[in-house]
Amino acid sequence: MPINQDGFSIVDLGEIPADVIDSFSRLALDQYMGGGNRYRRFSQYKMIASDKGWDFELLAHRPYMTFSKYNPVAGGIQRFYEPIEVDFTPFIERGAKDIALDETQEWQINVHQYRVIVNAQLKGVTVPEGRHRDGHSFVMIGVVTRKDISGAEMSLYRNARDTEPFYTGTLLEGQAVLLDDQNMFHDVTEIIPVNEEGYRDIFVVAFSPWTDRWHGDEFEKKVIESVQA
């Protein structure tokens, strides 16, 4: 389903391989975000269209960086995460096709894999930075598992000042949302435990033109300079 006139669409992911589901239990604690409730891995690709679909080149593993204007909590710094162990490229390709990405361009892909847990000691904060844009052309958020939780309602806004979202809804297991990230802000409410502890496993894919790539020395220099400016 292509992105609708409001700049988003919700799609079914189809069957999720067991190795992908199991890999979330091996994520490392995120030392930079989440207050002890967030586990994470991160990888990056170059993506090029071919006669057979989209081809992927795994990029050299580097620290994750983003501009502080997009993430006031942990933007502007190097964040060191372990690389993703499993193959998310079938989901990335599905997202690229549903978005109808320009096949004449080369694309740079960021992939984030998260588990957020909640219990009596840890709040179920899913988005520490609050309402935000990620700064990319398009974003895909896929839900793999919701275990013993309620909550995680997503809200979409036209801008940072809107008091009411133009859309609210909760992604279920096996669903993903595709967002025109340049033209909206998104937020997600906390997760709430149904039993003593619960968790939510998701992946986030960010699509950027290769000319604007978020990878390499030049990009990281820009991020640092933006903080110093």
The ranges assigned to domains in the chain are: 8-228
CB 199 within 8 A of CB 126: no
Instruction: Just give the CATH number of 8-228.
Output: 2.60.120.620
More confident residue, 61 or 68: 61
pLDDT in tens, 40-51: 999 999 999 999
Q: How far apart are CA 73 and CA 71, in angstroms?
A: 5
For residues 28 and 41, the answer to whether their CB atoms sit within 8 Å is yes
pLDDT in tens, 73-84: 888 999 999 999
Query: E strands along 51-197, which residues?
Result: 53-58, 107-118, 138-147, 149-151, 153-157, 167-170, 175-180, 185-188, 191-193
pLDDT, tens digit, for every residue of 13-25? 999 999 999 999 9
Q: SS3 for 31?
A: coil
pLDDT tens-digit readout, 169-199: 999 999 999 999 999 999 999 999 999 999 9
